[in-house]
Amino acid sequence: MPSKIRHFLTLADVSAPELMALLAKTAECKRSRRRHHAALAGQTVALVFQKPSMRTRVAFEVAVLQLGGSVVYLGQDDIRLGEREPIKDVARVLSRYVDAIVARTFAHSDAEAFARYASCPVINGLSDGAHPCQALADLFTLQEHFGRLQGLKVAYIGDGNNVLHSLAEGCAMLGVTLSVATPADYKPQPGTLGDWHEDPRQAVKGAQVIYTDVWVSMGQEQEREQRLKVFQPYQVNEALLKGAAAGARVMHCLPAHRAEEITDEVMESPRSLIVDQAENRLHAQKALLLFLMTRTKTRSR
Ligand code: CP
Ligand code: NVA
């Protein structure tokens, strides 16, 4: 009997032991890109993206190819999701053709709709609510750099957005202390708030890692002017880093807007783990595909 389909819409879709196993598998995939080179032979993954992407798209495409599978990319102009036809029809039909779907949506409920109607695993490649694939790579990067996760302190400074939601979920699962500083009107969703501060200088105290993301996420462009004003005190710069632990490192999911949420000086400094973090998307996404796609040995077609 084929085992039950697993989706990956948020980190809550895996248990803490499964998350640790995913990080171990990520390390294995990073050590050898050729390992598992035929694991997805004969399988196809569809990437259905309503928003632009560089890292997520390329990491998944390369991961699938290195695992011996094939990819179909469907941008918003290709299928006009929700406009030309409803998500439930796309999900039902697409999953008769392919073996897994990576969906990048605006509303998180659209990613959930994909999972509800698809008959294959659905991976959230970023929604307005969560970015669990990013968090996998982020947790791996922390473990790779510090040799541990338990007891680390990460400070997230900026917008209470999708990236923070998934980072917070992962930190809570694996014993990383997370402090957060956002403007009062831009707090993360309830439940992921943790140790919240309005003043970024409070949040960075004793932190070994400072994490930030854009102030204007995709889909919020009409709020840009207002956001740039409100978020000014939340810039990650050398002055803010002086209040963190000595030698604190900096993370950013990318793309970054220099001179907005982070200075060029900090981006280019030896403190930055940002490019390693981006590279690790490839290895982490490969581990995730192996976890979701090789546990169901047979599909009934
Ligand atoms: N970090 C991230 O998801 O980047 P892309 O939007 O380029 O995929
Ligand atoms: N918060 C950003 C992340 C991009 C990877 C956005 O949603 O646009």
Helix axis angle for 55-66 and 274-293, nearest 10°, is: 50
Residue 3 has a pLDDT of: 64
Structural element, H or E, at residue 178? strand 177-181
- Active-site pick, 55, 253, 271, 277: 253
| CB of 43 sitting under 6 A from ligand 2 | no
Helix (H, G, I), strand (E, B) or coil at 135: helix
Give the number of the ligand closest to the Cα of residue 52.
1
Residue 153 has a pLDDT of: 98
Mean pLDDT of 17-35: 96
DSSP 114: H
**Closest atom of ligand 1 to CA, residue 278:** 1
Residue 1 has a pLDDT of: 43
**Closest atom of ligand 2 to CA, residue 220:** 8
Q: What percent of the chain has pLDDT over 70?
A: 96
Helix (H, G, I), strand (E, B) or coil at 77: helix
Per-residue confidence band for 146, with pLDDT thresholds at 50, 70 and 90? very high
Q: Do domains 11-131+281-293 and 134-279 have the same CATH topology?
A: yes
Per-residue confidence band for 83, with pLDDT thresholds at 50, 70 and 90? confident
User: CATH assignment of 11-131+281-293?
Assistant: 3.40.50.1370
Contact, 135 vs 167, CB < 8 A? Answer: yes
Identify which of 47, 51, 56 to mutate to test ligand 1's pocket (most ligand atoms within 8 A of the CB).
Answer: 56
Residue 288 has a pLDDT of: 98
Answer yes or no: 213 catalytic.
Answer: yes
Q: Where are the domains of the chain?
A: 11-131+281-293, 134-279
Mean pLDDT of the chain: 95
Residue 190 has a pLDDT of: 80
Protein residue with its CA nearest to atom 3 in ligand 1? 56
Predicted confidence (pLDDT) at residue 272 exceeds the cutoff of 70: yes
Per-residue confidence band for 28, with pLDDT thresholds at 50, 70 and 90? very high
Buried b (16+ CB within 10 A) or exposed e, 253-277: bbebeeebbbbeebbeeebbbbeeb
pTM: 0.96
Q: Return d(Cα 99, Cα 96) in angstroms, integer.
A: 8
Q: Return d(Cα 276, Cα 278) in angstroms, integer.
A: 5
Mean pLDDT of 76-89: 90
Mean pLDDT of 119-139: 98
Residue 299 has a pLDDT of: 55
Ligand 2 centre to CA of 239 (Å) is 25
Q: What percent of the chain has pLDDT over 90?
A: 90
Per residue in 208-237, pLDDT (tens digit) is 999 999 999 999 999 999 999 999 999 999
Predicted confidence (pLDDT) at residue 300 exceeds the cutoff of 60: no
Give the full edge-to-edge strand order of the sheet including 70-75.
70-75, 44-49, 100-104, 122-124
Q: Return d(Cα 52, Cα 54) in angstroms, integer.
A: 7
Pair of tokens at residue 237: 């710069």
Q: Is the peptide bond before 255 cis (omega within 30 degrees of 0)?
A: yes
Per the CATH hierarchy, to which homologous superfamily does domain 134-279 belong? Aspartate/ornithine carbamoyltransferase (3.40.50.1370)
* Number of alpha helices (DSSP H) and beta strands (DSSP E) in the chain: 12, 9
- Residue 116's contacts (CB-CB under 8 Å, 6 or more residues apart) are 88, 91
Give the number of the ligand closest to the Cα of residue 251.
1
| Residue from 75, 84, 83 nearest 102 by CA | 75
- Active-site pick, 55, 104, 108, 249: 104
Contact, 123 vs 166, CB < 8 A? Answer: no
| CB of 56 sitting under 6 A from ligand 2 | no
| CB of 159 sitting under 6 A from ligand 2 | no
Q: What number of residues does the chain have?
A: 301
| CB of 285 sitting under 6 A from ligand 1 | no
Mean pLDDT of 65-92: 93
Predicted confidence (pLDDT) at residue 196 exceeds the cutoff of 80: yes
Q: Return d(Cα 269, Cα 150) in angstroms, integer.
A: 26
Protein residue with its CA nearest to atom 1 in ligand 2? 217
